[in-house]
Amino acid sequence: MNTSAAVSFASRETYAVGGCVFPNQMIFHYDTTRWDFRSLVAKVFDTDDLEHLHLNAAFNPLTRDDPAPNYEATKNSWAASKALKEAVSAAAEPIFRDLLHGLVADIFHPIASFQPRAAARVNFHGAKAILRFHTDAEYGQDLEAVNLWLPVTSAFGSNSMYLESAVGRGDYTPLRLTYGQACLFHGGQLMHGTQDNDSGSTRISFDLRFRIASPTA
């Protein structure tokens, strides 16, 4: 692993995968001009004011007067997430490929393969928790996989994803990232999830899993 200037945080807690040892959590920054994920999302929603998307009735059409957070905003988050994935997955794939085999391979480890259709998540302000706390192993995911979490909006507090620092510790802390930062973590064993979003800001993010190449002899 190359601790280059692109890495802004690497946890002291570690895990082993593929014969290598990595930080449980690593945050790095990347060039948004070369890897411009936000413009893909802005084009779908026809606005670059993504953090306030919850104020636009075209994308978050609340039909009840329940105080936030509520399940109506949650359902809208799910619907918007599905529509966003369908709209951008094909265009996002080569950008992720370049990011993984370029920067991530340089600062982390060479990449063997990756999930070609990244998940897209829209977490409207006002939504109940949209992702229960879990490990990916609970869903039968490969324990050798590494998770990449990449927001295209500001991610902080209750709009973000919460991650424990070590397996079984349960000390959940929200990731705090701005556009141009991403997080690598071992989602197969580390518990992660979301809380009710009362942050005042909508969070939009991508996530995918990848496998590292086997170490050379």
**Spatial distance between the Cα atoms of 147 and 154, rounded to a whole number of angstroms:** 19
- Residue 105: other Cβ atoms inside 10 A: 16
List domains and CATH numbers for the chain. 7-212 (2.60.120.10)
Q: Which two tokens stand for residue 166?
A: 């070590």
- Mean model confidence pLDDT for the chain: 94
* The amino acid at 163: L
Does the pLDDT value for residue 1 go beyond 80? no
Residues 180, 36 contacting (CB under 8 angstroms): no
**Cα separations (Å) of 166 from 70, 100, 118, 181, 191?**
31, 24, 25, 21, 9
Report DSSP letters for 9-60, one per residue. Answer: EE-S-EEEETTEEEESEEEEE--TTTS-HHHHHHHHHT-S-GGGGGG-TTTS
Note the pLDDT tens digit of each residue in 4-20. Answer: 789 999 999 999 998 89
Note the pLDDT tens digit of each residue in 117-175. Answer: 999 999 999 999 999 999 999 888 888 899 999 999 999 999 999 999 999 999 999 99
* The amino acid at 166: A
Find all residues with CB under 8 Å of 42, minimum gap 6, and list them. Answer: 48, 50
**Spatial distance between the Cα atoms of 192 and 137, rounded to a whole number of angstroms:** 12
Does the pLDDT value for residue 201 go beyond 90? yes
Find all residues with CB under 8 Å of 75, minimum gap 6, and list them. Answer: none
Does the pLDDT value for residue 197 go beyond 60? yes
What does the pLDDT read at residue 215? Answer: 67
